[in-house]
Amino acid sequence: MRYCYFCIPKNKNLKNFFLLFCILFSVTFSAQKKKDKEPLPTPKWKIQGRFAFIFNQSSFTNWVSGGENTIAGNININYDINHKHKNLNWDTRIITGYGLSHLSEKGYRKTDDRFEFNSLLGLKSKDYWFFSFFTNFKTQYSEGYNYKTEPKTPVSNFFSPAYLSYGPGMLWKKSDNLNVNIAPATARFTFVNDEFSGKFGVEEGKNSVFSLGFNLTGYSKFSLMENIEMENIVALYSDYLENPQNIDLDYQSNIRFKVNKFIKMQMTFHTIIDDNSSGKIQFRQLFGMGLNYNFHEKVTY
């Protein structure tokens, strides 16, 4: 009988250590294999609310180069409800925000004003595909003005405009942080009050207009590097009944830099293209540091 001197040490203590190492490695490997074969159960309900307050400020005193004192604050609240049961997937999200800035001589002006409700119901078809039905509603809280005119003129208000969209489609969902919904038969209603009748695509003397079109929405959230995440939200809409070549775009990108559990820096880029509300590209940019707090976090299996 021949021994493999390269496999088993000659020293007795080394032999014992070698055998112990082999046993521990085998147990660890078996446990790891077992762990890989037993994924964590999928939660039936995931609920999470997120509150963020973003603040920025600049002040000048006897500054030779000049400057204007400004102070601004934005409050954002997101509330997510995710439900999974067998082949059923239901995602609901509420996004709301309001912001003001104060310029020393010009007074208060809005920097953000938004309320949006999204609900997406999916019935699994195959792999990552679902038969879906979505509902979206969005409006604003207070009056908006065009400050380039003198005096300022109102251009929007609460429920003016308000948009309600819904329709069947197909959902591709890789995870809660990556999905695309395609709805080729989307009904869309635009509402305004009497003051804004004749604007936002609504005929003069009326308070609403109906359109039927193609709707595509997408969502992604991923980590750029440690403590830095990027979130993208996009919505496209084409009206079959009027100027289908004019595609409405609503795209928002958020980049968050985590300082600690409660403090984050955030950059927001928001672009809107809608020929019914404005013939120009609308763009909003925000950068600031603020307080972040998660509330009502709940997971049910």
The predicted-structure confidence for 10-40, as pLDDT tens digits, reads as follows: 455 445 544 544 554 444 444 444 444 556 6
**Main-chain dihedrals φ then ψ at residue 5, nearest 5 degrees:** -70, -15
User: How many domains is the chain partitioned into structurally?
Assistant: 2
pLDDT at 294: 93
228 & 295 share domain? yes
77 & 103 share domain? yes
Give the three-class secondary structure for 33.
helix
Is the distance from CB of 114 to CB of 140 less than 8 angstroms? yes
From the number of C-beta atoms within 10 Å of its C-beta (0-12, 13-18, 19+), residue 208 rates as middle
Could you tell me the maximum CA-CA distance found in the chain, to the nearest angstrom?
104
Please choose, from the candidates 95, 91, 89, 118, the residue with its C-alpha nearest in 3D space to the C-alpha of residue 49: 95
Kindly report the CATH number assigned to the domain that includes residue 99: 2.40.160
Structure tokens at 139: 């409006």
**Chain mean position to CA 229:** 12
53 & 33 share domain? no
**Main-chain dihedrals φ then ψ at residue 196, nearest 5 degrees:** -110, 20
The predicted-structure confidence for 184-217, as pLDDT tens digits, reads as follows: 999 999 999 999 999 999 999 999 999 999 999 9
pTM as predicted: 0.83
**Chain mean position to CA 56:** 22
Domain hosting residue 177, numbered range: 45-300
